[in-house]
Amino acid sequence: MKKRVLFLTSILSLVFIFGFLTSAFAEENKQRVYDYANLLSEDEIAELEDLALKHGKEHEMDFIIVTTPDADGRDIQPYIEDFYDDMAFGFDKPHGNTAIVALNMAKRDVMIFGFYKGEKYINDKRADLIRQKITPYLSGGNYYEAFSLFIETGSEYMGYMPFVNPDSFLLKTWFHILLAIGVAGLVVGSMAYNSGGKVTVNERTYTGDFKVLERKDVYLTKSVTKRRKPQNNNRSGGGGGITSGGHSYSGSRGKF
């Protein structure tokens, strides 16, 4: 009886280990870059695959890149909606945590999508920020740099709570350094002031009392120059939505 229990336990352990290794192997070899528009070299695709895998493991997210010559004559948004439904992206499960950047070269459209955990942490506002960061690189034809920045910035934003502005100066290292210097300066200044004793001599000690002889207020002319606010040609539109398969997502789209 004991031998049978031991045998069954060993079999179950092997099945569990085999299943875990199979899942890990599948995750390692999953395709994440779909360059149908042929914008990237083979080396660039390999590097982006590695980068997407690295940051995907860190946050349990699929970072997906899709380029298409003309989206089969469709708009980029429904095209990617169906692409997500068909491909069942997701690090945690099929149709799971995913962030997608997609290009339609025919219309110069770029759109960022966030599904499930991606919808929460890369919401519409954060998707806007990411899109605005990568658009100059896309406009200059630097697609590898743009896609790398998409993955790295998306990964960075995943580290902040959804209600926090990830680009706020309050979160920047330089601000923390200046704040520390300022606090240290106040402490040192306070110590120096308190250690100096009370000042008992002022200007009246030697010159005697004085009276105000004349008071004059001078007003300077204030001029206001109005300037036209420059237009933002990198405006976002669209936002998120729901795929035909019932999966909601955040989003930001624009031109490049």
Q: What is the pLDDT of residue 163?
A: 87
% of the chain beyond a pLDDT of 70: 62
Contact 237, 253 (CB under 8 A): yes
pLDDT band at 214, cuts 50/70/90?
A: low
| pLDDT confidence band for 233 (50 / 70 / 90) | very low
Q: Name the pTM for this structure.
A: 0.68
Q: Model confidence over 175-198: pLDDT tens digits?
A: 435 445 654 456 555 565 566 555
Position 25 scores a pLDDT of: 41
Whether 129 shows a pLDDT value over 70: the answer reads yes
